[in-house]
Structure 1
Amino acid sequence: MGRFVRWVVAVVVAVAGCVVVVGGVSAPAVALDNGLARTPQMGWNDWNSFFCNVNESLIRQTADVMVSSGMAAAGYRYVNIDDCWSTKSRNAAGDLVADPAKFPSGMRALADYVHGKGLKLGIYSSAGTTTCAGYPASLGYEARDAALWASWGIDYLKYDNCGDHQGKSGVQRYTAMRDALAATGRPMLFSLCNWGQESVWTWGMGVGNSWRTTGDIGGNFGSVTSIIDQQVGLDAYSGPGGWNDPDMLEVGNGLTGAEGRAHFSMWALLNAPLIAGNDIRTMSAETRETLTNTEVIAVDQDWGGRQGTKISDNGNLEVWRKPMSDGSVAVVLLNRGTSTATISTSASALGLGAASSYSVRDLWAHTNATTSGSVSASVAGHAAAMFLVRGAGLVSPSATPSATPSASPTGGSGSGAVKAVASGRCLDVSGASQSNGAQAQIWDCNGQSNQQWTSTSASELRVYGNKCLDVYNQGTADGTNVIIWDCNGQNNQKWRFNSDGTITAVGANKCLDVPNNATANGTKLVIWDCNGGANQRWTRT
């Protein structure tokens, strides 16, 4: 937000010669250990469409539509309030005050409403004396403000960079708020918004869950491509718990449908936070379909060890690739020009091993093809094509298993594999990772340790001896990801085996689910309302 202020800031920075420099920086810090943003956060923010015209009705209506439109089911969780939500001064006790004209029910009641939808509420402040719109900010008030937000039930803080910094560096100012948030004991995702200053990517990982890498985005394709250019070389500074943030989405805000799809494709390839900035209450069907394309979202939410990188640049024609955790590669063919052009790459350039053939899944057309090695498409101007490419021997998204076993009651005790009835594939930890936040998925049963699950007397499903099957961030909404995490005894790590073959997540009272009745290797598991479908039934082996 705050582009009317930050445009001036950006010009001053450029004149001073403090442009973003990637070379010669140190290795990224260890991820912030607050248990959040194990995959890039998804949600909505009011600024790009409403600026200071934020109020309680807008937030409630947006939460309603986030559920009814299918956005929540697609993974969007956070409903974020930006600048201008408070009064122009603190109260006599020194606290920030929610503007009673804009938020007559108060922030606690608003948070309760949003939480009742299975969603989370975000708030905004700045690491200076004032916000970008001139409201009181949090420099020097970190502990007080963090405690207040925790008492309201806030789940997310976007922390801007406006106001007087009182001679303190970004590291000092943002670290102070990090520590204040931690001291509250309430998990609050911490989004740093310092516009890419001070090479934030080199220290952001240990301070926040995401960090802006650039100035503000605008609702035009030139702004989108300019920001894309600034992501080159930042791929090493990103991973579970902390993400490079190229700013909010402008899908549905001034972009054509094709431009919006290209924008969304690139943000997904970059493992960027997906924070919608349009008015979702009035969005077109085309915009909704873009924002809820679960195949593209799956690329964003998958961590294959590296965010997407550019591998070919031929003027306006670019090729970007991103390794996926199942061994496939996501690719975007981007046409920045105005005329239709053919863009091509090859399996070898994408880093895929030699194979007799490759499957190519078009993530926008939702179609499959095969190739002997060339990946090519005719791409309109200001548009992109996006594919998932797999070598022979990897299962394509449309493939069906060779056999479909019948259901039998799952046992609530013992150790071994847990097999999905619909696919015949096993409950598996992606990439055999032992890291907190690794995604649970289905995969061909192979007897390896990442498929060996032990039921405990505490209703846990343990793998590797010390990791538990876990509902991400204690979520309760349909579509919440299922991951592994250090066993901690919380309800989001408790599972109940039922006589019909379903497995219930105790904390959410929802079932372990293979989304969309998928059967392919690498399908990520979620929780969903229990319906007894084959995609929710499991057997012990």
Structure 2
Amino acid sequence: MKQSMPLWIAAHGLALAGLVANPAHAQKFDGLAATPQMGWNSWNTFACDINEKLIRDTADAMVKNGLKDAGYVYVNIDDCWHGKRDDKGVIHPDPERFPSGMKALADYVHGRGLKLGIYSDAGATTCGGKPGSRGHEYQDAITYAEWGIDYIKYDWCDTKGLNSAGAYTTMRDAIRSAGRPMLFSICEWGDTRPWDWARDVGHSWRTTGDIYPCWDCEFSQGSFSAWGVTRILDKQAGLRQHAGPGHWNDMDMLVVGKGLTDDEDKSHFSAWAMLASPLILGNDVRSMPASTHRIVTNAGAIAINQDPLGVSAWRFLKTGEVEYWAKPLANDEWALMVLNRGAQAAPVSFDWGAYHINDDLSKRTADFKHKRYAWTDAWSGKTGDTTRKLEAKVPSHGVVLLRLKAKT
């Protein structure tokens, strides 16, 4: 049915021709997510129990406890911030939960040197039953830009009859038309293989359903399942070639500090670092224990994740329950992860000289027989080099995470 020009176009002072005539609107914003984005999201701990005080206090905590200095810059509000649309269709935040409004909240977060993210959905309603952006894409993008939003997580609930590539492309174009660079995080759970179509649409895309804070499990929630750490890791097989600077495979938010053991948390964080997934914390950063803080601020693991080469790791060897993963880094360096999936500690004796690691994707080679590398373990701080076997006892569900640098 043909409709007249929506009231919101006039309300925002925009000409309809300007939205469709400029070819620049058909591009996502470049220069965002050159390395995987780092930040925090409200959902995994707070779900719909959110308000502006929580967001302000979280921003304050991220500055005070060193998360900002470690690289975590996005403070992302997930579902349930929404109030109602007004008579022009403009969305407003819940007036009881966010009485100061989103513009004031964004100003506060920006004043802390951080960035504010927000959540919407391609459907008519969000996963929490709040107003989605279907039919309001350009309107909402303009509203978010006016508020000063820096990041949009865009979900996939209530989307019957929609084409995912088309729906996300519409929102990409809406963000571009709004004129403010906003990182676009695609969250359709990997159902329609976004890695095949989303490179020029979003800055990251979910590759699986939601994560669940367990090591190796499937948690059924009726019509869908959430997955443990190793289940999500396994689902990344064959996807590394699709990721790179500005377009990342998103293995979902981190559950570090949400019930796993310390060894499992280290392995979880290491795997996300090695596979160049966004690092989005999901714990309560206002009151995390020192053990969790040490993991999520580990400089060595973060540097591996944030390596500018932007190449994801792959598993090159499996011996029983022990797996060996390699990741090429910039400046002819490498990262190596030894992951013990088993229920018992596993002795490791890795003969470097027996392996010649070749990566067809990055065209990088590590010939340990003819080239010597010095290594440092990101977790233990131990050092060594490849002239001697790597001897270690890896705890159950534990990890060794090495950074290798060629020696002349």
- Which position in structure 2 is the counterpart of 1:60? 56
Which residue of the other structure, out of 185, 200, 222, is the alignment partner of 2:194? Answer: 200
Distance 2:258 2:291 in 1: 12
* 1:72 matched to 2:77: no
Q: CA deviation at 1:317?
A: 1.3
- Which position in structure 1 is the counterpart of 2:338? 333
- Which position in structure 2 is the counterpart of 1:378? 393
- Which position in structure 1 is the counterpart of 2:15? none
Which residue of the other structure, out of 122, 126, 139, is the alignment partner of 2:121? Answer: 126
Aligned Cα RMSD in Å? 1.6
- Which position in structure 2 is the counterpart of 1:138? 133
Question: What's the CA shift string for 1:420-473, capped at 9, x where partnerless?
Answer: xxxxxxxxxxxxxxxxxxxxxxxxxxxxxxxxxxxxxxxxxxxxxxxxxxxxxx
Work out whether residues 232 and 310 of structure 1, in 8 Å CA contact, stay in contact via their aligned partners in 2. no
* 1:190 matched to 2:204: no
Q: CA deviation at 1:163?
A: 0.9
Question: What's the CA shift string for 1:78-100, capped at 9, x where partnerless?
Answer: 0000000012x422111111001
**Structure 1 residues 499-510: aligned runs within 5 Å:** none
Which residue of the other structure, out of 238, 259, 266, is the alignment partner of 1:233? Answer: 238
Q: CA deviation at 1:217?
A: 0.1
* 1:110 matched to 2:105: yes
Which residue of the other structure, out of 290, 296, 320, is the alignment partner of 1:291? Answer: 296
Which residue of the other structure, out of 333, 350, 366, is the alignment partner of 1:352? Answer: 366
Which residue of the other structure, out of 258, 266, 271, is the alignment partner of 1:261? Answer: 266
Partner secondary structure for residue 275 of structure 1? strand
Distance 1:371 1:307 in 2: 22
Work out whether residues 28 and 176 of structure 2, in 8 Å CA contact, stay in contact via their aligned partners in 1. no
Question: Matched residues, percent identical?
Answer: 49
- Which position in structure 2 is the counterpart of 1:84? 80
Distance 2:139 2:275 in 1: 35
Letter in 1 for 2:251: P
- Which position in structure 2 is the counterpart of 1:281? 286
Distance 2:101 2:391 in 1: 54
Work out whether residues 363 and 386 of structure 1, in 8 Å CA contact, stay in contact via their aligned partners in 2. yes
Higher relative contact order (CA 8 A, sep 6+): 2
In structure 2, relative to structure 1, the CA distance for the partners of 1:335 and 1:176 (3 Å cut) is: same
Work out whether residues 245 and 310 of structure 2, in 8 Å CA contact, stay in contact via their aligned partners in 1. no
- Which position in structure 1 is the counterpart of 2:316? 311
Q: CA deviation at 1:33?
A: 4.4
Q: How many residues are aligned here? A: 362
Which residue of the other structure, out of 210, 216, 234, is the alignment partner of 1:216? Answer: 210
Q: CA deviation at 1:349?
A: 4.1
Partner secondary structure for residue 211 of structure 1? strand
**Structure 1 residues 22-61: aligned runs within 5 Å:** 32-61=28-57
Distance 1:133 1:344 in 2: 50
Question: What's the CA shift string for 1:94-143, capped at 9, x where partnerless?
Answer: 11110011111110000000000000000000111110011110111100
Distance 2:44 2:76 in 1: 12
Work out whether residues 124 and 131 of structure 2, in 8 Å CA contact, stay in contact via their aligned partners in 1. yes
Partner secondary structure for residue 331 of structure 1? strand
Distance 1:344 1:138 in 2: 54
Distance 1:334 1:42 in 2: 23
Q: CA deviation at 1:305?
A: 5.3
- Which position in structure 2 is the counterpart of 1:169? 163
In structure 2, relative to structure 1, the CA distance for the partners of 1:317 and 1:105 (3 Å cut) is: same
Partner secondary structure for residue 171 of structure 2? helix
Q: CA deviation at 1:392?
A: 2.4
Partner secondary structure for residue 294 of structure 2? helix
Question: What's the CA shift string for 1:385-436, capped at 9, x where partnerless?
Answer: 100123322xxxxxxxxxxxxxxxxxxxxxxxxxxxxxxxxxxxxxxxxxxx
Work out whether residues 313 and 328 of structure 2, in 8 Å CA contact, stay in contact via their aligned partners in 1. yes
In structure 2, relative to structure 1, the CA distance for the partners of 1:344 and 1:243 (3 Å cut) is: farther
In structure 2, relative to structure 1, the CA distance for the partners of 1:134 and 1:344 (3 Å cut) is: farther
Give the TM-score, by structure 1 length. Answer: 0.65
Letter in 1 for 2:253: M
Partner secondary structure for residue 206 of structure 1? coil
**Structure 1 residues 380-529: aligned runs within 5 Å:** 380-393=395-408
Distance 1:163 1:373 in 2: 57
Distance 1:244 1:101 in 2: 36
Letter in 1 for 2:366: L
Work out whether residues 308 and 330 of structure 2, in 8 Å CA contact, stay in contact via their aligned partners in 1. yes
Letter in 2 for 1:97: H
- Which position in structure 2 is the counterpart of 1:458? none
Question: What's the CA shift string for 1:481-533, capped at 9, x where partnerless?
Answer: xxxxxxxxxxxxxxxxxxxxxxxxxxxxxxxxxxxxxxxxxxxxxxxxxxxxx
Letter in 1 for 2:174: A
Q: CA deviation at 1:260?
A: 0.7
